Amino acid sequence: MSMVRSIYSVLNKENPLSEYYVDIQGMNFSRGDRVIYDDVSIRIPKGKITAIMGPSGTGKTTLLRLIGGQLYPSKGHIFVNNQDVPLLSRSDLYLLRKKMGMLFQSGALFSDMSVFENVAFPLREHTNYSEDIVRDIVLMKLESVGLRGAAQLMPSELSGGMARRAALARAIALDPELVLYDEPFTGQDPISMGVVVELIKRLNDSIGLTSVLVSHDVGESLSIADYVYILSNASVIAHGTPDEIRNSEDERVIQFLGGLPDGPVPFHYPASSYADDLGLKKS
């Protein structure tokens, strides 16, 4: 196995000319008997914001975990920065993750550390910066998400939206090459939402990082994304630029963007007949 990995690592030397930071090819993934992805291919261009959208339960968060190497596909390849993630050794995977930042849906702040310490954590782990520099970087990151004044608060003292913004500051603390955002707009008031949208856009424009944005918020996502994938029923049902998606004539896309309850995408989780469940029989 180690030999296979060595050969792979030689073949997978970083190719600076590659256009895609993440390249998923023919990926299959299942949880038990439930197929989450069936032969899915997704390409995330370098330096762009790619939005991944779709109904609840289609495995959008699972996709981020597959990209981050926390889950393994049953088939297919997941290339991140030209390295096939499922084939990486544990140490190589951790090296690759240093180039990534991930904003979790729950925030996932360390509950025994203040907001300041949370944001400083990756800097202290992966750099040899002096305390003064760490302090300055942390305050700059917190200022960008509007939480400089909350630096000394504990995570338990933050609202859900504030915790997610603090987690966003932590995710970008090291200025990673790839940031995975899992529902960054959830729980934000309109003002904070605007700031977060602007921040994601600005990070992309200024330092050219690659962003993968998983979100249900159609308007906000389409407003900043360069490219959009819509997932449903274990496959990609549409992809293209925001304008192409808006003008799509696919019924499933129209139903999703319009938030329509009736259409090809079922609102209900697969189930037996409602009348049978209630014990109602036709006379």
Is residue 159 part of the contact set for another protein (CB under 8 A)?
no
Smallest gap from residue 135 Cβ to another protein (A):
18
Nearer to another protein, 22 or 245 (CB): 22
Nearer to another protein, 172 or 253 (CB): 172
Look up tokens 């939206």; give the residue: 161
By the 10 Å C-beta count (0-12 exposed, 13-18 middle, 19+ buried), 135 is classed as middle
Nearer to another protein, 72 or 267 (CB): 72
Nearer to another protein, 28 or 105 (CB): 105
Smallest gap from residue 115 Cβ to another protein (A):
14
Nearer to another protein, 184 or 238 (CB): 184
Q: List the interface residues with another protein, window 74-133 (CB under 8 A).
A: 90, 94-98, 100-102, 104-106, 108-111, 121-122, 125-126
Is residue 68 part of the contact set for another protein (CB under 8 A)?
yes
Size (the chain), residues: 283
By the 10 Å C-beta count (0-12 exposed, 13-18 middle, 19+ buried), 33 is classed as exposed
How crowded is the C-beta side of 91, counted as CA atoms within 13 Å? 4
Smallest gap from residue 148 Cβ to another protein (A):
22
Using only the alpha carbons of the chain, give its radius of gyration: 21
Is residue 59 part of the contact set for another protein (CB under 8 A)?
no
Sign of CA dihedral 46, 179, 186, 161: negative
Which residues are within 8 A (CB) of 170 and not within 5 positions of it... i.e. 6 or more apart? Answer: 101, 109, 118, 119, 121, 122, 141
Q: Comparing C-alpha atoms, which of 30, 35, 13 is closest to residue 79?
A: 13
Smallest gap from residue 244 Cβ to another protein (A):
31
Smallest gap from residue 136 Cβ to another protein (A):
20
Residue 235, Ramachandran bin (φ over 0: left; ψ between -120 and 50: alpha; else beta): beta
Binding mask 170-189 for another protein (x = CB under 8 A): ----------x---------
Of 15-23, 38-46, 62-70, 239-247, the window that binds another protein (rule: CB under 8 A) is 62-70
Instruction: Specify whether the CB–CB gap between 75 and 27 falls below 8 A.
Output: yes
Q: CA end-to-end span of the chain, whole Å?
A: 64
Smallest gap from residue 125 Cβ to another protein (A):
5
Please give the size of the binding site for another protein, defined by CB under 8 A.
Answer: 25
Nearer to another protein, 50 or 248 (CB): 50
Which residues are within 8 A (CB) of 140 and not within 5 positions of it... i.e. 6 or more apart? Answer: none
Nearer to another protein, 87 or 245 (CB): 87
Nearer to another protein, 128 or 273 (CB): 128
Smallest gap from residue 211 Cβ to another protein (A):
15
Token pair recorded at residue 169: 């500051």
Q: Which stretches of the chain bind another protein, using CB under 8 A? A: 65, 68, 70, 90, 94-98, 100-102, 104-106, 108-111, 121-122, 125-126, 167, 180
